Amino acid sequence: AKPVVAIVGRPNVGKSTIFNRVIGDRLAIVEDKPGVTRDRIYGSGEWNGKTFSIIDTGGIEIDGVDHILRSIRVQAELAIEEADVIVFMCEAKSGVTQSDEEVAQILFRSGKPVILAVNKVDNMRRMDDIYEFYSLGFGDPVPISGSHGTGIGDLLDEVVKNL
Ligand code: GDP
Ligand code: MG
C-alpha cells in the first residue's frame, strides 16, 4: 500500500486549499465507515517520483461530534492512526492559538514524523510572523501560501524525505 500523509490542523488554516493543490485531480472516492463520513477527503499525490495517499482530516465528519475542539481532537487521533507522516498546518495571520497548542500536544505524543507548515505567508512581509511557531516544538516551520501556491514544493520535499 502507498504511504499515507495526513493534513491536520484547526479549521480555516487552509488544509483543504493545500490538499486540493497537492492532489490536482487525483481525488479518491472512499466508502464511508459507519458514523464517519470520509469520502471526498482522500486523494493521491506525487513528488520527486514518490507517490502517496493524502488525507484532508478537516473533512472528516463524525456523527455526534459537534464541539469544534473535540472534533479537531478526534480528527487528529484518526489521522495519527492512519498516517505515516503528518503535516501539521497553522497559519501566519492569527499566530499560534490555543487550538494549535492542543493539536501540537496530541501530535507530539504520537511519535510519528510531523512537518509543521505555516500557511497564509502571502508575501515576504509576513516572514517575521513564522518565528513564533518554533514554540510548538516541531523544528523549522515551512512557510507556504495556498493562495499563491508558494512553498508547497519545499513542504513536499520535507514530506517525501520522511516516507
Ligand atoms: P480548512 O478549514 O483548514 O480546510 O481551510 P480552507 O482551505 O477551507 O481555507 C480557509 C480560508 O482561508 C479560505 O477562505 C481560503 O480561501 C483561505 N486561504 C487558504 N489558503 C490561504 C493563503 O495562503 N492565504 C490567504 N490569505 N488565505 C488563504
Ligand atoms: Mg477544510
Distance from residue 56's CA to the centre of ligand 2 (Å): 7
The span from the CA of 129 to the CA of 132, in Å, is 7
Q: In total, how many domains does the chain have?
A: 1
Domain ranges, residue 144: 4-161
Tell me the C-alpha distance between 145 and 32, whole Å: 31
Nearest CA to ligand 1 atom 11: 12
Query: 114-162 pLDDT, tens per residue?
Result: 999 999 999 977 788 999 999 999 999 999 999 999 999 999 999 999 9
User: How large is the ipTM?
Assistant: 0.99
pTM over 0.95: no
CATH number at residue 132: 3.40.50.300
149 CB under 6 A from ligand 1? no
Spatial separation of the C-alpha atoms in residues 48 and 157, rounded to whole Å = 8
